[in-house]
Structure 1
Amino acid sequence: MTNEEILNIAMSQSAIDSNCKAEDFKSLENKIVISRKNPNARKYLELPFSCDLTSYGNNIVASVSEELVDVVKEYIEKYEMICCFETPNLHFLIEKLKPYNLNMCFMAEYFLPDVDVIKPLPCLYKTKLLKENDLKGLDSKQWSNALCCDKNRPDVLGVGAYDNDKLIGLAACSADCDTMWQIGVDVLLEYRRMGIASSLTSKLSLEILKNGKVPFYCCAWSNIKSIRNALKSGFKPAWVSVTAKPNDFINKML
């Protein structure tokens, strides 16, 4: 795959998720659409959205409920695109969402592989390709940052690092939709800062591409270590999103 093909696949999936057209993300004008359920959306998304703002850097595509169209329209027209994804401007939207029992919940940055850069990075320890059955036997609590453990989006492929027979690092991917597999990675505390995470991430990404799928990587904007790993592994920023959820949902996460 080329970088352009990878980006187009990601935009096509985002279009399914947001109930819009892929070309909407390439426009220089903001777009508001009504969110709908879609069986082909990323499996972990709870659709329809009440309010989700997504940007690939050109504009904002706002996927919202019908009752929030005017609220969100006012917001994305009031501020510059970049500022709509950060405070203090987000406080304006947060205040507008209060009567609907909603608040901003998820703020994430997504990364896609750069095929001109990505390569298998060396590891100080032996590595091994793991298939779906291999991953099922691993401790889901110990490797919670790498494994999804959701039957609706199974962990389908992984790469492990071993100190003799001891698993010390794991990168794994979940089949979140038909075209894209999401990567998670974790390394035991005493083995960190040795380049293991980037080695596993890069090798797994190349295996995903060999399977004809697009690997993608997601983390919070404040997770500097994870962002550094993405960049070192051959990924580059692709899109961002902020999503509002009901207050009851948020309170259960606290």
Structure 2
Amino acid sequence: MNKHIILDRTRDYLAAELGCSPADLSGSGTLYVANTCARPPYIKLAAIGERVIASASPELLSRVRELTEGRSRDELFELPLVYGQTIHFVPDEIPSLPLPDGYEYRLLEGEAIGGLRGLEGFPNSLAFDSRGHTGTGIVFFAQSNGKIAALAGAGEESEGLWEMGVDTEPSHRGRGLGAALVSRLSLELMERGRVPFYSASVTNIGSQSVVHRAGLRPLWVDTYSNTLLDSYIYKATTIN
């Protein structure tokens, strides 16, 4: 899978989320977008390359512009309306990292993942709802003494674009399991014509280190919570 396909799919996904066109993600400076598709009240900032997109519900856009206009990219992401910044990574050069010795490895897809129902301790890579359903469509995991030690999973976020997550039991960390599983799962997805991507909080250095070793590189950063809940402490500042 070439890099043009990876970039095209991720840009299409990001543009749809922000309510703009993929072409709007190019260029520089801040672009203000009245997002009529997102559930209001909605505010989201995203930075990709030299471009910043300030996407907001139409009724909030003028207030967002008032709070942000004339500020640099770094200044924008320090404002009170920014809540929970996330870095998103896409494949660059994915190495086939060696799988650490001493483990058994398994790949499961589709309905076979249901056999892991009830598994706990892997919230970033595999989660089931109250009815026993999961959005995870493929998993690759390491097992030791009959118990899962680390697991990487992915689910379809939009057509052809799959988001990955990984968890490693504390007693098995520091052995390269996380990076090895993410790299192998990335390769599996791309062989199937799917583009994998990975998201990590800007404060989660450990998670970022794992995906760097697995051959993924940051493409964009955005704000995490995009709907202003009543508990949001800066809601009055943003809306009034």
Q: 2:194 aligns with which of 213, 220, 224?
A: 213
Structure-1 separation of matches of 2:97 and 2:231: 40
Q: 1:167 aligns with which of 126, 144, 148?
A: 148
Q: In the alignment, what sits opposite 2:55?
A: 63
Q: In the alignment, what sits opposite 1:79?
A: 71
Q: CA 1:149–1:27 in 2, change beyond 3 Å: closer, same or farther?
A: farther
* Matched ranges for 1:230-241 at <5 A: 230-241=211-222
Structure-2 separation of matches of 1:59 and 1:49: 23
Shift of 1:250: 4.8
Q: 1:179 aligns with which of 153, 160, 173?
A: 160
Q: CA 1:15–1:153 in 2, change beyond 3 Å: closer, same or farther?
A: farther
Contact 1:35 1:47 in 2 (8 A): no
**Residues matched between the structures, number:** 227
Q: Which amino acid aligns with 1:3?
A: K
Is 1:142 the equivalent of 2:121? yes
Q: Higher helix share goes to which structure?
A: 1
Unmatched tracts of structure 1, length 5 or more: 38-45, 95-103
SS in 2 for 1:143: coil
* TM-score between the two structures when normalised by the length of structure 2: 0.86
Q: Which amino acid aligns with 1:18?
A: L
* Matched ranges for 1:121-140 at <5 A: 121-124=97-100, 125-138=103-116, 139-140=118-119
Shift of 1:153: 7.0
Percent identity over the alignment? 28
Shift of 1:205: 0.6
Q: CA 1:83–1:9 in 2, change beyond 3 Å: closer, same or farther?
A: same
Structure-1 separation of matches of 2:40 and 2:175: 42
- State the Cα deviation string for residues 12-69 of structure 1 (Å, max 9, x = none): 11111111110111121321111133xxxxxxxx635611111112211111111222
Q: Which amino acid aligns with 1:119?
A: P
Structure-1 separation of matches of 2:55 and 2:150: 37
Q: CA 1:176–1:164 in 2, change beyond 3 Å: closer, same or farther?
A: same
Q: CA 1:26–1:189 in 2, change beyond 3 Å: closer, same or farther?
A: same
Q: In the alignment, what sits opposite 1:109?
A: 87
RMSD value, Cα: 2.1
* TM-score between the two structures when normalised by the length of structure 1: 0.82
Q: CA 1:140–1:77 in 2, change beyond 3 Å: closer, same or farther?
A: farther
Q: Which amino acid aligns with 1:17?
A: E
Q: CA 1:200–1:155 in 2, change beyond 3 Å: closer, same or farther?
A: same
Q: 2:95 aligns with which of 114, 119, 139?
A: 119
Unmatched tracts of structure 2, length 5 or more: 234-240
- State the Cα deviation string for residues 166-221 of structure 1 (Å, max 9, x = none): 22110000112112111111111111110000010000011111121110100100
